[in-house]
A and B are shown apart, each in its own frame.
Chain A
Amino acid sequence: MIPRRTLADREDVLGVAMLAPALVYVILLVGVPFVLAILLSFSNATAGSLSFGWAGGRNYAAILGDPIFLRSLRNTAIVTIGSQVLVVVLATAAAQVFRAAFHGKRLARLVLLLPWAVPVSLAAIAWTWIFDSTFSVLNWTLKATHLMHGWLYWLGDPGLALVAIIIVQAWRIFPFATVIVLAGLASIPQDVVEAAIVDGAGFWRRLFKVELPLLLPVVAVAVLFGVVYTATDLGVVYILTGGGPANTTQVLPSLAFQRGVLGADLGQGAAIAVFLLPFLIVVAVAMLRLARRAEVGTR
């Protein structure tokens, strides 16, 4: 950019004028509600009235003594970590496959991206049907191949339901992570890889000693977005299990929705949702560090 001194002032004015609507929108409709979310968590507000009374730490005391809340906090961590471990494995493997040239790759890529493109609520309802207690095609297949003799009540058993949730979360996020890792692979300088080949490194050695370390920032980006999308997701749990059986698969967003919106206890709902913040702060800090490293790298 070549700033022309005589127009500098006008560029300032234009810049601010063009930026202002976006800033105002973000401040009024993200910033203010964000502050309101935290204020509400210290209040006794309910959905019915517009009154707003200070409740101090009462909402927090109530949820911290509530086994359902503690379980939802644990479930959120289990689902997030479990699905993201799967995502990393699946995405790095899929990226290795999809960087190669093969027949039908365009179609394969389209199919691979389906889980990411489909609305999460529609994917969740399809999986609900797949996990159906009577008609589950998974059960049929396991039974027909003699891998199973009993019966799996996928969404009726607390442990299995959590497994189902992890599978669906990993399924919908790994395509996105794969594309990110592919972008990272494409940006690895070819001479580095060639040098490794010349030095006699085989496929696995090249993968683990050369490429994966170089890919680490990109994989980190994929995981960070994956954490945000999984930890804060309501759709999958709400549709798949509704938090059941008996509140055993509640996660923070679903419990916040149940208490805050359905139960009209805005204060307690807000307090539950606030526990998403630690997940988000970790992600935000990690991203800032990555961005700074990338900045340093380009200079």
Chain B
Amino acid sequence: MKRVALYAAAAGFMVFAGFPFYWMLLTAFKQNRDLYVGAFDTRHVPWVFNDPPTLEHVRLLFGQTEFPRWVLNTLVVVVAVVAITVAVAVPAGYSLARLTGRWGERLGMGIFFTYLIPPTLLFIPFSRVVALLGLQNSLGALILVYPTITIPFCTWLVMGFVRSVPWDIEEQAMIDGYSRLAVILKVAPRLIVPGILTVVVFSFTLVMQEFVYALTFLSSVDRMTVSLGVPIALVRGDVYHWGALMAAALVISIPLAIIYNLFIDRFIQGFTMGAVKG
């Protein structure tokens, strides 16, 4: 009885969480005549394929829309933002954990709090800053601005990670005659590889997900990133390419979900701060 209730509850949560993705899947592969049947027709069951599935929408998405271009744009931004974030946040997190002593913790929390300042408060001043720098409608604007989200969070993540790494290996290296700087350059990076990887994944997922800044800065369809182009530019006038739209949403969501699944526990450590003692 208890087992039944458990499975029923688990199934309920899966249906609620997963149903829009099931709907994406159906829509992406349904033929138009199966797709566009009004919901008032109760004899036509929309939950299943009534006609054989088709690749028509996927072909449209990859062949006749700017989607491949958006993927490419997104990757350009991903590479740049990941590079900037790793270069800036990893040393900062290490410094706060090992070098700055007591005030490091306060400062670390201060930096983390800037993560709470949302894009929707900053997009208006940024639209002016971006105009002043001549970066309107360019991926450069995103590359400049996205690290304002990734750096605070990742600095905090790395700080927590470095703290969890025992100090003795670095200490031993110093006893062996390494200078402090040599330890940082030669010994420490190997020890914090998982932390760096988490930073890479967080920055990657953030760029994939961000919408507000992309919406504010980018206006040409060929400059857009995936998270902007799909919902904004695949809907033109009255013509809704729902099949292609849902295919795009699915193609992007599934890999992201798998990556998230692998790294969620590390992200959560960053969010819970001191509230959970592991």
Contact = CB atoms under 8 A, between A and B. Distances in A.
Interface in B90-139: 91-92, 94-96, 98-101, 104, 107, 109, 111, 113-114, 116-129, 131-132
A119 interface: yes
A266 B128 contact: yes
Contacts of A7: 180
Interface stretch (B49-57, B59-67, B257-265): B257-265
B277 A298 contact: yes
B16 A126 contact: no
Nearest to B136: A47
Contacts of A115: 17, 20
Given A114-B21, A119-B209, A37 B122 contact: yes
Given A94-B13, A113-B260, A184 B275 contact: yes
A18 B208 contact: no
B275 A114 contact: no
Size range of the chain B interface in the assembly: 35 or more
A110 interface: yes
B39 interface: yes
Nearest to B227: A119
B39 A139 contact: yes
A204 interface: no
A257 B215 CA distance: 10
B197 interface: no
A111 B101 CA distance: 42
Given A10-B180, A284-B116, A134 B151 contact: no
Contact of A256 (B120, B228, B261): B120
A86 to B, nearest CB: 11
A234 B99 contact: no
Interface residues of A, number: 114
Interface in B11-54: 13-14, 16-18, 20-21, 23-24, 27, 35-40, 42, 45-47
Given A119-B256, A218-B275, 16 more contacts: A34-B117, A50-B132, A97-B13, A108-B13, A111-B18, A111-B21, A113-B257, A123-B20, A125-B231, A126-B246, A179-B268, A183-B278, A261-B124, A261-B127, A270-B125, A290-B273
Interface of A: 1-4, 7, 10-12, 14-16, 18-19, 21-23, 25-26, 29-31, 33-34, 36-37, 40, 45, 47, 50, 90, 93-94, 97-98, 100, 102, 105, 108-127, 129-130, 134-137, 139-141, 143-144, 151, 171, 174-175, 179-180, 183-184, 186-187, 217-218, 220-221, 225, 228, 232-235, 238-239, 252-253, 256-257, 260-261, 266, 269-270, 273-274, 276-277, 280, 283-284, 287-288, 290-291, 294-295, 297-298
